[in-house]
Chains A and B, each alone.
Chain A
Amino acid sequence: MQDNFIAPQGKIEKIMGNCIALVGDDIDTDRIIPARFLKCVNFDALGGSVFEDDRKDLKGNHPFDLNLNKGASILLVNSNFGCGSSREHAPQALMRWGIKAIIGESYAEIFYSNCLAIGIPCFTQKKELIQEIQKKAQNNKLSLEIDIAKATASLNDVKLELFIKESSKKMFLSGDWDATSILLNNKLLIESKINDLPYVKFNPNNL
């Protein structure tokens, strides 16, 4: 877990770091951060509780406890990662543990948009390749440099092609992943839109 957590800010172009392989499909957000840790009014203390129950169960042998993975920042996952609850606490806990990017087979929709909104790029690749790099990362320290503009991850001379939604890529590169300010740029359009909505007219006093 990181001692001095600094949230990402602005443009995100490159991410360098060691990989941590977490094998399994359909890993839900209740497993990433069990509900009892949601009793908080800020995200600060979540990093230490990431995968709490799975880790207790594996008594020190969970990937997030192995010495090999200390200081890792690129998480390697399989399919439908982050399914279930919309709790942003899940990617927040991963980020506060030290995760800066995720490479996997596929993601649940809300988890993906939460990651985008807090500055964690999520890349995809096909199953066989993910399994191959997971194996590498389980055996030895595996360091990757991710280039978001090129959508590649390099290790030594090897370049691994990655996939990311074009709109997400642009948002990371421009810094617009922190969407509030770009949304507020369209203040006048928002104010005119509300007057276009039929239900605003026929529900005059309700809301």
Chain B
Amino acid sequence: MSQNTLFDKVWDLHKVADLPGGSSQIFIGLHLIHEVTSPQAFGALEDKKLKVKFPSRTIATVDHIVPTDNQSRPFKDNLAEQMIDTLEKNCQTHKIKFFNIGSGSQGIVHVVAPELGLTQPGMTIACGDSHTSTHGAFGSIAFGIGTSQVRDVLASQTLAMNKLKVRKIYCLNKLSQGVFAKDLVLHIINQLGVKAGVGYAYEFAGPAVSALSMEERMTVCNMSIEGGARCGYINPDQITFDYVKGKICSPKNDNWQQALNWWKSLVSDKDAIYDDVIEIDASKVEPTVTWGITPGQSIGINQRIPKLKDLNIEDQFVAGEAYEYMGFKPGQKIINTPIDVCFIGSCTNGRISDLRVAAKIVKNNKVSPTVKAFVVPGSEKVAKEAKNEGLDLIFKEAGFQWREPGCSMCLAMNPDKLTGDQVSASSSNRNFKGRQGSPNGRTLLMSPAMVAAAAIKGKVTDVRKLL
């Protein structure tokens, strides 16, 4: 059992009680809600005649269902309108702070909380969304929950949980030029598999991780869940503190020094005990692209799609399904695969640094005439910053559509969807069957830089050739 890791320290601090069945009652420091997984939770609360225990510890925004072309109300989609309306009413009734469209702070919940300074080291953070693991980038313990658990957090600010084991993923050396955090995390998931993380929190560490910016760290932790780990985190350091400092909700004046001292004390001890430790050589990671229907089915840009016999026996069933669904032949190259749609956005890669990297590649180029390409900034703040830097113009001049913030085609709950068996190059997190809105649509996950390269060339391209 792990000892003296950041996970152990934060868990112990937030433990309220041992529950009769043997699980623990854990206090949730920050609860984030959105329109999709909260309405039934508020409904259940009302059925049970309960109140929200600490309304100030829940923050709401709207992201999954918002259209990205025209956000004027009422939304054209009645069901989407009903969902945002329900969230507005629930927040009003229960006195919950809501960052609505036009507030200047609306956006994807996992983009919004860090940029407001709500996400801080040492917190426990829960949200009815599996990519809540994103916030672990700050050294918080953050995980996705279902709607019944949203109800429990609203009612009690606590959850019944079993303690996770801790696996340290030590990333040696550094990423090479043209290789990004997304490539690193896709590579890790490929190496460990999509279910290796079940029952574990992942601690990402080592020189390659320490060298990442906060936004890159968020990309890595965001995809912990795609490796099966409900929670992934990185020990906070000067890069973390510099990012948090000065944000609207971060500690100020005398409190800042106190916070800093406390945050530093949370870092996993040098002699901490882990349940498992594995090493990854970051210098060997290439620009990485998924070829299948799970985020673990990926290869380096210059590799060939594995043949059945090259795979572990337990991976063969899903590989067979993937060849058929994706229309790829075992052993074929992924490079030069024609692309129909390019999507830059999502809680994985919809932040300002992602847009900057993509814009650099797009600048003075044109989107291939066979490609529909669009950029969806992660939040209103990201959109504003991008406009200030003129990034929106770079994208538009190249032929990208520039959209309003939201989750968009990551999960296609809004009107942004693939049609038929279109192939998308996507900076999002999931390549599941049907994920991007068409039951036979096909998704290739990659870094935003690689998506930008695919948009210009109309096919999967090694971005390093365009740098």
- A residues less than 8 Å from B262 (CB atoms): 198-199, 202
Q: Is the CB of A42 within 8 A of B433?
A: no
Known: A196-B13, A199-B259, A202-B259. A182 touches B195 (CB 8 A): no
Q: Is the CB of B158 within 8 A of A190?
A: yes
Q: Is the CB of A83 within 8 A of B228?
A: yes
Interface size class of B (residues with CB under 8 A): 35 or more
Known: A80-B194, A109-B199. A183 touches B158 (CB 8 A): yes
Alpha-carbon distance A183/B456, docked complex (angstroms): 54
Q: Write the chain B residue with the least CB distance to A192.
A: B16
B140-148, B205-213, B214-222, B377-385: which one contacts chain A? B140-148
Q: Is the CB of B249 within 8 A of A207?
A: yes
Known: A26-B194, A30-B432, A198-B258. A114 touches B13 (CB 8 A): no
Alpha-carbon distance A53/B437, docked complex (angstroms): 11
A65-73, A84-92, A138-146: which one contacts chain B? A84-92
Q: Is the CB of B439 within 8 A of A56?
A: yes
The listed residue with most B CB atoms (<10 A of its CB), out of A56, A78, A107, A179, is: A179
Known: A30-B432, A53-B434, A86-B130. A189 touches B230 (CB 8 A): no
Interface residues of A in 167-207 (CB under 8 A from B): 167-171, 174, 176, 179-180, 182-184, 186, 189-190, 193-194, 196-204, 206-207
Interface residues of B in 33-71 (CB under 8 A from A): 36-37, 39-40, 43, 48, 50, 53-54, 56-57, 59, 64-65
Q: Is the CB of B152 within 8 A of A183?
A: yes
B14 within 8 A of A: yes
Q: Is the CB of A176 within 8 A of B19?
A: yes
Interface residues of A in 102-117 (CB under 8 A from B): 106-110, 113-114, 117
Q: Write the chain A residue with the least CB distance to B44.
A: A180
Size of A's binding interface in residues, CB under 8 A: 70
Q: Is the CB of B118 within 8 A of A190?
A: no
A57 within 8 A of B: yes
- B residues less than 8 Å from A203 (CB atoms): 120, 249-251, 255
- A residues less than 8 Å from B19 (CB atoms): 167, 176, 182
Known: A88-B148, A203-B255. A35 touches B411 (CB 8 A): yes
Q: Write the chain A residue with the least CB distance to B120.
A: A199
Q: Is the CB of B30 within 8 A of A207?
A: yes
B413 within 8 A of A: yes
The listed residue with most A CB atoms (<10 A of its CB), out of B83, B120, B411, is: B411
Q: Is the CB of A86 within 8 A of B433?
A: no
- Partner of A30 from B158, B161, B317, B434 at Cβ < 8 Å: B434
> Apart from A170-B21, A176-B20, what 18 extra A-B contacts exist at CB < 8 Å?
A25-B318, A26-B194, A30-B435, A79-B314, A80-B194, A167-B21, A176-B21, A180-B48, A180-B155, A183-B152, A183-B158, A186-B16, A186-B158, A190-B157, A193-B14, A198-B259, A199-B262, A204-B255
A residues sitting closer than 8 Å to B (CB atoms) are: 24-26, 28, 30-31, 34-36, 38-43, 53-54, 56-57, 78-80, 83-89, 91-92, 106-110, 113-114, 117-118, 165-171, 174, 176, 179-180, 182-184, 186, 189-190, 193-194, 196-204, 206-207
Nearest 4 A/B pairs, CB to CB: A88-B146, A114-B146, A117-B148, A170-B21
